[in-house]
Amino acid sequence: MKIGFVGLGLMGRPMVNRLISAGHAITAYDVSPAAFDGWTAPPRKATSLREMSSCEIVILMLPNGSIVDDVLFYSGKLASALPEGSLVLDMGSSDPEGSRARASELAGCGIRFVDAPVSGGVNGATEGTLTIMVGGSDALHDGERGILEVLGKTIFEVGPVGSGHAVKALNNALSASSLLAMAEATESATRFGIEPAVFVDIINKSSGRSFSSEWKYPQFVLPGTFNSGFSLSLMTKDVATAVNLCEQLGLPALALRTAGEAWKKASGSLESSADHTEIVRWVARR
């Protein structure tokens, strides 16, 4: 199967490595020339998206839905290069409503679109243990499911197209809310004179625990590395996507909107490359 891959960032690169190790021939494209530096077994480099015209599948691992639109329909024009019957698999965290629109526009060109965003981070991408949430899985052929199995360990067929992206945005909104709340609680404890490590230990044996307290604090916050591999700007985008979704569905989203506003403020005052765990230091400085 000829596979194209667009977006060789923190997630895309280890995903391509896994696909190559599994024996797939990959043609890859990225706007950043640095994306092709430092590979042991590099993919074939495409200098334009038109070079994907013979691909049966193109996997997208891009920052957001607007960039996916740009790649497919505007400056990239990938949709007009791909053959009829091909598949676009959007594995990045795009907006769910946009994905429905993309699916219907591509269907007009005879191209299938499936959203298959992931959780599990750079470690999961490297180890092939991602959780994959598939929207519109009915459109997948058998061999195409096999590709997902190279990349992930747990594959959920969520529902119609866009539903994978809806779940992904809502998951990250929950994760962002819990990290923000944990940062505020830990900072309060610290200002009260309690050792942060002691506080985190107690929370992790109590009902306030979460993935943030059990994984992100011990791994990235308490050791002061702040290097989870997931940027603050991408997390802020995901919370905003979830809040928009709630509002489109007529739900006021009080908790998620409050969290989203804080993430947006942090994003405005930190470097665009800042890791999302930097929200903890941002809270502490306030």
- The span of 96-104, 106-114, 117-125, 209-217 binding ligand NAD (CB under 6 A) equals 117-125
9 is a site residue for ligand NAD (CB under 6 A): yes
Tokens describing residue 283 = 């809270």
31 is a site residue for ligand NAD (CB under 6 A): yes
- Distance from C-alpha of 192 to C-alpha of 115, rounded to nearest angstrom: 46
Positions 77 through 106 that interact with ligand NAD (CB under 6 A): 92-93
Among 3, 8, 58, 116, binds ligand NAD (CB under 6 A): 8
32 is a site residue for ligand NAD (CB under 6 A): yes
Which C-beta is closer to ligand NAD: that of 126 or that of 189? 126
The nearest distance, CB 276 to ligand NAD, in angstroms, is 8
30 is a site residue for ligand NAD (CB under 6 A): yes
Catalytic residue among 2, 77, 168, 264: 168
- The span of 9-17, 133-141, 205-213, 218-226 binding ligand NAD (CB under 6 A) equals 9-17
The reply to whether 237 belongs to the active site is no
Tokens describing residue 247 = 């509002």
The nearest distance, CB 230 to ligand NAD, in angstroms, is 3
229 is a site residue for ligand NAD (CB under 6 A): yes
- Tell me which residues touch ligand NAD (CB under 6 A): 6-12, 29-32, 35, 61-63, 67, 70-71, 92-93, 118-119, 121-122, 229-230, 234
Residues assigned a catalytic role: 168
